[in-house]
C-alpha cells in the first residue's frame, strides 16, 4: 500500500510526524511525503522537520506565497504530475490550509482516494478561508479521520455516510506526548530568564486580527498593558511582522512585551507548557493548552474546536483590547492541573489511522 501525505504550512508538520513514525514500523506500507512549499522560511518549515524528526520530503513543489486563488491553483498544477507519477492508493491531507484543499481536489479528480486528518471541524464562519477549505476538503474525502465527537456530528449533519467517518482522536497530541520530555529539558523559560507560570505566550496571525491597523494597534496596546505586570512572549508570524512594520509599531520601554522571530516546535512547546497563560488565534494552541492544562484565551468570535472550551482550558474572547485584559485577569482560575482528559487525545491517533487504512482495504 502506498500512502502519499501532503504538507505545506506550519500546522501540518506536527500532524504528519507521528504518522510517518508509525508508518515506518509497517514494512508493507510505503510512505511518500510531498511538501507544497506554502511555508518556506527555515523557522516556519525546516526547523519543524528537524525538531519532529520528519525525513526530507520526497518532493517539494516550492510554490511559495501568493493570493489564495494563485496559491491554490499553483499547488494544484504542480501536484497533479507528481500524484500521477507516485500513483498512491490514498492521498492523505491534513488540517485546513490551502495546500490541503488544493491537493485533495487534484487527487479526487484523478480518482484517487482521499483521507482527511482532522476532518469535521467547523467554525461556521464562512469568512475564514480555513472554513471553506475544511468544508470542501471533507466533501472530497473518502476517509474522514476526526479528532473529536463534535466533528463526527458535524459530518453526519452534512449527510456524510457514517462508514466514511472514523473517530481516531487528535494526532497533534501524539506529537506533543512524544516531544514533551524533550521540551521540558529544553527549558525555554529558564533560558529567557522567565519564571515558570509567571509569563504569558502570545501568537496572533489571523487576517481578521492583524490586517486592520486600528484593531492590531488595540490588541498590541492590551498586550503591552498585560506585560507591565508579567512578561509577555510573542513569537511573530511573518504576516504579523509585516503588519506591525506597516503601522510603525514601537513598544514602550516600561513594558516587557518581547517580540521574537517564530520559534521551533520544541521551543514553543517548552514555552507554552511552563507559561501562566496563552493568548492566541491559532487552532493548534487551543488544543495543546487544553491538553497541558494551561489557560488559553482565543482571540476570535468562534472556534472550530469547541471541545477545548467545554472540556479544556480555552475561552473565546472578542478581538478587543479591553476584553482581553479582563479575560487575562480571570484566566488563572481555568488552569487544569494534570491537563484536560479528552477522549482519544492520548498519543495513539496515528496508530488508529493506520488501522483505518488496513480495515478500509486500500
Ligand atoms: C496559513 C494557513 C493558516 C495557518 C497558518 C499558520 C491558509 C489559508 N492559511 O496562513 O490556516 O494558521 O498558515 O502559519 O492556508 N510568509 C513568509 N514565510 C513563510 C510563509 C509565509 O514570509 O514561510 C508570509 C508571506 O508574506 C505570505 C504570508 O506570510 O504571503 C502568509 O502566508 P500564507 O501561507 O499565505 O498564509 P498564513 O497566514 O501563513
Confidence of residue 227 (pLDDT cuts 50, 70, 90): very high
- Please state the domain extents for the chain: 2-169+344-360, 181-334
Residue 362 in this model has a pLDDT that exceeds 90: no
- The answer to whether residue 26 is catalytic is no
206 lines ligand 1 (CB under 6 A): no
Residue 221 in this model has a pLDDT that exceeds 90: yes
Superfamily of domain 2-169+344-360 in the CATH hierarchy: Glycogen Phosphorylase B; (3.40.50.2000)
Atom of ligand 1 minimally distant from the CA of 237: 14
Res 320: pLDDT = 97
Q: What is the mean pLDDT of residues 329-353?
A: 97
Confidence of residue 361 (pLDDT cuts 50, 70, 90): confident
Q: Which of 163, 97, 110 is nearest to 140 (CA)?
A: 110
355 lines ligand 1 (CB under 6 A): no
Instruction: Tell me the CA–centroid distance for residue 39 and ligand 1, in Å.
Output: 6
Ligand 1 atom 16, closest CA? 238
Superfamily of domain 181-334 in the CATH hierarchy: Glycogen Phosphorylase B; (3.40.50.2000)
Query: Can you give the length of the chain in residues?
Result: 362
Out of 35, 39, 166, 205, pick the active-site residue.
205
The rounded percent of the chain whose pLDDT value lies above 70 is 100
Residue 253 in this model has a pLDDT that exceeds 90: no
Ligand 1 atom 22, closest CA? 238
Instruction: Tell me the CA–centroid distance for residue 269 and ligand 1, in Å.
Output: 20
Helices marked H in the chain: 10-24, 46-52, 68-86, 98-109, 129-140, 149-157, 171-186, 188-191, 207-210, 213-227, 238-247, 265-273, 284-292, 307-310, 321-330, 349-360
Average pLDDT, the chain: 97
Q: What is the mean pLDDT of residues 153-158?
A: 98
CA dihedral 18, 24, 30, 34 (to 10 degrees): 40
Burial of 164 (0-12, 13-18, 19+ CB in 10 A): middle
Q: What is the mean pLDDT of residues 204-222?
A: 96
277-317, pLDDT tens digit by residue?
Answer: 999 999 999 999 999 999 999 999 999 999 999 999 999 99
Amino acid at each position: 500500500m502506498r500512502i502519499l501525505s501532503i504538507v505545506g504550512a506550519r500546522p501540518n508538520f506536527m500532524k504528519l510526524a507521528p504518522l510517518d513514525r508509525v508508518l515506518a514500523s509497517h514494512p508493507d506500507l510505503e510512505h511518500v511525503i510531498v511538501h507544497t512549499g506554502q511555508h518556506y522560511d527555515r523557522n516556519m518549515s525546516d526547523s519543524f522537520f528537524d525538531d519532529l524528526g520528519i525525513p526530507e520530503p520526497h518532493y517539494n513543489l516550492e510554490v511559495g506565497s501568493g493570493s489564495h486563488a494563485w496559491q491554490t491553483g499553483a499547488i494544484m498544477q504542480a501536484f497533479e504530475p507528481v500524484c500521477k507519477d507516485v500513483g498512491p492508493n490514498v492521498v492523505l491531507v491534513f488540517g485546513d490550509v490551502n495546500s490541503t484543499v488544493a491537493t485533495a481536489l487534484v487527487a479526487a479528480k484523478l480518482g484517487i482516494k482521499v483521507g482527511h486528518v482532522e476532518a469535521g471541524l467547523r467554525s461556521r464562519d464562512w469568512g475564514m478561508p480555513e472554513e471553506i477549505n475544511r468544508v470542501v476538503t471533507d466533501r472530497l474525502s473518502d476517509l474522514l479521520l476526526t479528532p473529536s465527537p463534535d466533528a463526527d456530528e458535524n459530518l453526519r449533519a452534512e449527510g456524510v455516510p457514517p462508514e466514511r467517518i472514523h473517530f481516531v482522536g487528535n494526532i497533534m497530541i501524539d506529537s506533543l506526548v512524544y516531544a514533551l520530555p524533550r521540551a521540558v529539558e529544553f527549558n525555554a523559560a529558564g533560558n529567557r530568564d522567565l519564571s515558570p507560570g509567571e509569563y504569558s505566550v502570545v501568537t496572533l496571525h489571523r487576517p481578521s486580527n492583524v490586517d486592520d491597523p486600528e484593531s492590531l494597534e488595540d490588541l498590541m496596546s492590551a498586550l503591552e498593558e498585560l506585560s507591565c505586570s508579567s512578561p509577555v512572549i510573542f513569537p511573530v508570524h511573518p504576516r504579523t511582522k509585516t503588519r506591525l512594520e506597516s503601522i510603525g509599531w514601537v513598544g514602550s520601554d516600561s513594558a516587557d512585551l518581547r517580540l521574537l522571530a517564530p520559534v521551533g516546535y520544541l521551543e514553543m512547546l517548552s514555552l507554552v507548557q511552563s507559561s501562566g497563560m496563552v493568548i492566541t488565534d491559532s487552532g493548534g494552541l487551543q488544543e495543546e493548552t487544553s491538553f497541558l492544562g494551561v489557560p488559553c484565551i482565543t482571540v476570535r468570535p468562534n472556534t472550530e474546536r469547541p471541545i477545548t472550551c467545554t472540556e479544556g482550558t480555552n475561552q473565546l474572547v472578542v478581538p478587543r483590547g479591553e476584553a482581553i485584559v479582563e479575560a487575562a485577569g480571570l484566566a488563572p482560575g481555568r488552569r487544569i492541573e494534570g491537563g484536560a482528559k479528552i477522549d482519544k487525545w492520548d498519543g495513539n491517533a496515528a496508530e488508529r489511522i493506520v488501522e483505518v487504512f488496513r480495515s478500509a482495504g486500500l
